[in-house]
């Protein structure tokens, strides 16, 4: 049995950062990976999706300014866009990531890892043999999530797209039906429409991006419609079938419509990859999320040896927050290994508190939308004394100079009792780049009166912060 201080099951961004942090603290670490080192984000999610979205956004940005609009007349070149995406992902080749692990002093064991009792992991390799590992200090589960399919008759028999297929497809479907109204649905509808596909989005509810401020979903819906995407609210797919000869898919909906398409993307949610992790060997139910404390220690497990980082703990399913948790987790493991208590709270480096109060996120549609902190609804439900401030970003001089047809909105959620920003939502070009200012304000608990002294440069889009403060009043 091979022994390491820390065993990390899952070699995605979270697993890589935990292992690196452990090694930097003087501990030995091994990463167990069943697929590709680098994880979903590198090959089938964040990286390829943004690679698909950026060309359309760049073209739109050029066409938003008089003088360059006339120079940009051709459509995107799908073959070149897909080739550029493949350069970023290496088509799943993880050689570079594996070499990085070796260079960082982190061992790699390829195969499917399962818990086999306290501090023990059995790894089943491709040839069926099993390698037993033992952890002196900790086992960290970083196995992420997988797409779920909605209860649509025939969906499991048509080679349906999930986020994996939508980000890695080698050809543009002539017609695409998207089931869902969340981030994946909106981004992939944007990307494939930009590449020439005729896209229809079926949304069971009455809005896109549920859980966001309503203005975000409204702006994304407007943007998709402007691109030529057909959005059908209050409509669900009930039956699908693929013709064996033509490969055409028919999608029957609950309003009696039948849509013909070439591919169907199911983007309705994700579940934890914990069904085959050996959780029963340590008294935990298989297939569930793994609740953790602020050090990412699994609270249902006895002792201080089992941790869960990233999407699998269901705190904040975003790559950047997974890496944030991973840094905290590695610091906590190191503290405990040294015999010191890793007590949460007090802004300690091993206390992952920001993923409860200040989670930044961005959707790379056209327009972009971004948010951090609480929505107005969530703040009121939390019992805060809430005041909101809104300002049209298009009325800012820097925005008008940035694009002739700039359209965007900024909304602040303020806790009046403390005079602090607790939430912010932005829509419009560059929203993803602007949101970090709000993140700093929320995490730093910067009082509104102090923000007056953070003077934005003129003429930039960031001047919207001055306008928001003016609308709020001293």
Going by C-alpha positions, the residue among 288, 349, 360 that lies closest to residue 321 is 360
The whole-number pLDDT of residue 153 equals: 97
Mean of the pLDDT values across residues 55-64? 97
Topology of domain 367-472 in CATH is Enolase-like; domain 1 (3.30.390)
Residue 38 Cα distances to 101, 383, 414, angstroms = 10, 41, 38
> How far apart are the C-alpha atoms of 395 and 298, rounded to whole Å?
48
- Mean pLDDT, the chain, integer: 96
Query: Residue 373: enclosing H or E segment and its boundaries?
Result: strand 369-373
> DSSP secondary-structure letter at 389?
E
Mean of the pLDDT values across residues 407-436? 97
**CATH for 2-38+94-146+271-355 (3.30.70.260, 3.40.50.720, 3.40.50.10710, 3.50.50.60):** 3.50.50.60
pLDDT higher than 90, residue 363: yes
The whole-number pLDDT of residue 318 equals: 95
Query: Residues 385-394, buried b or exposed e (16+ Cβ, 10 A)?
Result: ebebbebebb
Going by C-alpha positions, the residue among 55, 60, 113, 108 that lies closest to residue 85 is 55
Domains 2-38+94-146+271-355 and 155-268 share a fold: yes
Domain spans of the chain?
A: 2-38+94-146+271-355, 155-268, 367-472
Q: Which two three-digit tokens encode residue 386? A: 């809430």
Domain 155-268 indexed as CATH 3.90.1200.10: no
pLDDT higher than 80, residue 343: no
Confirm if 422 and 443 have CB atoms less than 8 A apart. no
Mean of the pLDDT values across residues 115-144? 97
Confirm if 388 and 411 have CB atoms less than 8 A apart. yes
């Amino acid at each position: 049995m091979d022994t390491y201080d820390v065993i990390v099951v899952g070699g995605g961004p979270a697993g890589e950062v935990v292992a690196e942090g452990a090694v930097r603290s003087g501990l030995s670490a091994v990463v167990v990976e069943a697929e590709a080192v680098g994880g979903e984000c590198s090959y089938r999610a964040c990286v390829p999706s943004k690679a698909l979205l950026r060309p359309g956004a760049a073209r739109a940005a050029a066409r938003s300014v008089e003088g360059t609009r006339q120079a940009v007349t051709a459509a995107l070149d799908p073959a070149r866009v897909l080739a550029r995406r493949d350069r970023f992902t290496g088509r799943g080749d993880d050689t570079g990531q594996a070499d990085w692990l070796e260079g960082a002093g982190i061992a790699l064991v390829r195969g499917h890892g399962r818990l086999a009792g306290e501090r023990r992991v059995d790894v089943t390799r491709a040839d069926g043999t099993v390698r037993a590992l033992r952890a002196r200090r900790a086992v960290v589960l970083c196995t992420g999530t997988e797409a779920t399919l909605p209860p649509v008759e025939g969906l499991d028999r048509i080679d349906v797209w999930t986020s994996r297929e939508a980000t890695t497809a080698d050809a543009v479907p002539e017609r695409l039906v998207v089931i869902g109204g969340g981030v994946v649905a909106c981004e992939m509808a944007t990307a494939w429409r930009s590449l020439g596909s005729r896209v229809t989005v079926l949304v069971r509810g009455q809005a896109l991006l549920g859980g966001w401020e309503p203005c975000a979903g409204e702006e994304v819906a407007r943007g998709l419609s402007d691109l030529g995407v057909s959005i059908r609210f209050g409509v669900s797919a009930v039956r699908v079938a693929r013709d064996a000869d033509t490969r055409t898919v028919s999608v029957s909906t609950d309003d009696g419509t039948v849509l013909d398409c070439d591919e169907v993307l199911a983007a309705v949610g994700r579940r934890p990859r914990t069904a085959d992790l050996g959780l029963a060997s340590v008294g935990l139910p298989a297939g569930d999320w793994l609740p953790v404390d602020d050090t990412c220690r699994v609270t249902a497990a006895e002792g201080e040896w089992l941790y869960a980082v990233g999407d699998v703990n269901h705190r904040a399913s975003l790559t950047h927050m997974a890496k944030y948790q991973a840094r905290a987790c590695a610091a906590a493991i190191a503290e405990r290994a040294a015999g010191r208590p890793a007590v949460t709270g007090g802004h300690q480096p091993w206390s992952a508190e920001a993923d409860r109060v200040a989670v930044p996120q961005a959707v790379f549609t056209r327009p972009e939308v971004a948010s951090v902190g609480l929505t107005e609804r969530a703040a009121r439900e939390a019992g805060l004394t809430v005041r909101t401030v809104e300002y049209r970003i298009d009325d800012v001089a820097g925005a008008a100079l940035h694009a002739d047809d700039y359209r965007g909105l900024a909304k602040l959620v303020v806790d009046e009792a403390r005079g602090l920003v607790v939430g912010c939502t932005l829509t419009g070009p560059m929203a993803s780049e602007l949101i970090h200012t709000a993140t700093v304000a929320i995490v730093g608990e910067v009082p509104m009166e102090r923000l007056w002294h953070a003077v934005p440069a003129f003429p930039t889009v960031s001047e919207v912060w001055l306008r928001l403060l003016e609308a709020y009043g001293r």
